[in-house]
Amino acid sequence: MNYNKLVDNVIKRILLLFAAISVITTIAIVFSLLGETVSFFKEVSIVEFFTDTRWTPLLEPKHFGILPLICGTLLITAGASLISIPIGLASAVFLSEYAGNRTRKILKPVLEILAGIPTIVYGYFALVTITPILQRLIPQTNIFNAASASIAVGIMTIPMVASLSEDAMKAVPNALRHGAFAIGSTKFEVVTKIVIPSALSSILASFILAISRAIGETMIVALAAGSTPKLTLNPLESIQTITGYIVQVSMGDTPRGSIESRTIFAAGMVLFMMTLLMNIISMLIVKKFRRVYD
Amino acid sequence: MSLKMKINHLNLHYGDFHALKDVNIDITENAVTALIGPSGCGKSTFIRTLNRMNDLIDNVTITGEISLEGIDIKKCDVIELRKRVGMVFQKPNPFPMSIYENVIYGPKIHGAKDKKVLDAIVEKSLRGAALWEEVKDRLHKPALGLSGGQQQRLCIARVLAVEPEVLLMDEPTSALDPASTLKIEDLMEQLKKEYTVVIVTHNMQQAGRISDFTSFFLNGEIIESDKTENIFYKPRDKRTEDYITGRFG
Ligand SMILES: Nc1ncnc2c1ncn2[C@@H]1O[C@H](COP(=O)(O)OP(=O)(O)O)[C@@H](O)[C@H]1O
Ligand SMILES: [Mg+2]
């Protein structure tokens, strides 16, 4: 008896340790960002950082305005969401409410495969397939452009929206659907007025997750979006995202401790804040729209 | 008393399983028809055929004829049919919305928009389901905050709101406490003045208290259909008598 209790205790502690690793890592990441970010802002004013519209830390004359990178990131995120949210939601509705068992059995694994493709493959796909198509449709499209990367990021995040939203819709009890059918609802009314509203909190959370994923996506944008920080809303131009910039500097030969190398920590901090904001929004949404069924 | 629905030689199969065998019943207008019988004998299956809820289940084959005021329901538009023949289920299934939104769900999908009209429908339906007095001060609170018995009456109100002609109820009180059960039983007396009611119950006392006609189901067949008093006091079939007197089921 006592021996069993001891084993239980030891196991509990080991598991706690593992759980603690992720918490500790998160804290460590924040601190490592923080230290270098503070040093960065000793040399560059925070006002310049957030108001200057040029980002040229590697070129003379140096400018440290993060706006072009934020703009690039948001451009990619908006474009990707335009793809992933409608297509993902439509797929989820189809899988959960319309598809027969056999269709579902084929489609779900396909979605999972889509989710499992390495992002570098999506990056190549954007560069060698999507971009040429875009260039044929609109000749002035740059070889590196935001649209192509957005589309690839969007496709990459479809499975996330589809599968989380489908789970949420499947969790809506059939009794609710039957209640709606029994007073003369069409299938479409059941889906739009009962199923989606009932599952809304998780569906919105899946959107936010896809958006966060797009904000942080690196490989696709590094390959296909270009490396020209630019304050533009034109998706056919070459741009740069925060992540794209961080990769560019990390891969280059910027000396450690220089102002150039510190830019990536400041940029990383902004990225971290953006995804943190998304997480907070997500939590608020889940809380606000949560519906309990029983 | 006129005939509201007529069921002729109805057979239903779930795959190979013969669940309803040559069922024939007349449903009288403005009366309560009770369906009794032991668990698994096909009562739910039968009542679901009356507004074609079985269309939602795969692998069901139905033969025979069900008519509503002389018209074959197979030929009706199913949405129109379910507006005329509404259904309340065994377990209360309010939508995760406010009480008010639950009641106006049906009228709204069928085109009602005007706020005044909707308000009037809400009051009328909730009164019709004997729930108005209890909820009139919290119409915009979540329906799931109601007690089980109140939820079930809300589900009745939700059906009444689309002004059906026939009200189907599948064991509407089996998940409820005795006090709530009593409230719903009392309601039947009111409801049949305006509606035709078909109710499944495995509680024979309940059938005796509230119904005008009773059909006794056994293994997918109707053993006997008659005025309720005849079923209870002068059953023609030995099996009906055995069931009524509690010898099986
Ligand atoms: N969806 C279904 N698929 C297959 N068999 C079913 C289904 N629903 C009910 N049955 C079977 O049909 C018979 C009658 O069931 P049911 O109508 O629910 O009986 P009751 O309501 O009288 O208890 C039972 O044997 C049950 O197992
Ligand atoms: Mg049943």
Residue A257 is predicted with a pLDDT of 81
| A&B contacts, CB < 8 Å | 69
Higher pLDDT, A175 or B204: A175
Ligand 1 mutation target, pool B12, B14, B215, most atoms within 8 A of CB: B14
SS3 A213: helix
Q: What's the rounded Cα separation, in Å, for the pair B30 and B196?
A: 4
Q: Whose CA is nearest to atom 16 of ligand 1?
A: B42
Q: What is the CATH number of the domain that holds B63?
A: 3.40.50.300
At residue A294, does pLDDT exceed 70?
Answer: no
Closest C-alpha among A213, A206, A182 to residue A80: A213
Q: Which residues of B touch A175 (CB under 8 A)?
A: 89, 91, 93
Hey, what CATH topology would domain A67-289 get? MetI-like fold (1.10.3720)
Ramachandran class of B59: left when φ > 0, alpha when ψ lies in -120 to 50, beta otherwise: left
> Does residue A5 register a pLDDT over 50?
yes
Q: Is B86 on the interface with A (CB under 8 A)?
A: yes
Ligand 1 pocket test, pick from B44, B46, B57, B170 with the greatest ligand atom count within 8 Å of Cβ, gives: B44
* Residue contact A179–B93, C-beta within 8 A: yes
Mean pLDDT across B226-239: 93
Domain count, chain B: 1
CA of B40 to the centre of ligand 1 (A): 6
The predicted structure's pLDDT at residue A1: 64
Q: What residues contact residue A53 under an 8 Å CB cut-off, 6+ apart?
A: A65, A67, A68, A231
Residues B22, B178: Cα–Cα separation, whole Å: 35
Q: Is residue B163 part of a domain?
A: yes
Residue B49 C-alpha, separation from nearest chain A C-alpha, in angstroms: 12
Task: Report CB contact under 8 Å: B83, A178.
Answer: no
Q: Which helix (H) or strand (E) holds B51?
A: none
Q: Do B53 and A182 touch (CB under 8 A)?
A: yes
Supply the range of the domain harboring residue B161. 3-244
Is B249 inside a domain boundary? no
Q: Per residue in B95-150, pLDDT tens?
A: 999 999 999 999 999 999 999 999 999 999 999 999 999 999 999 999 999 999 99
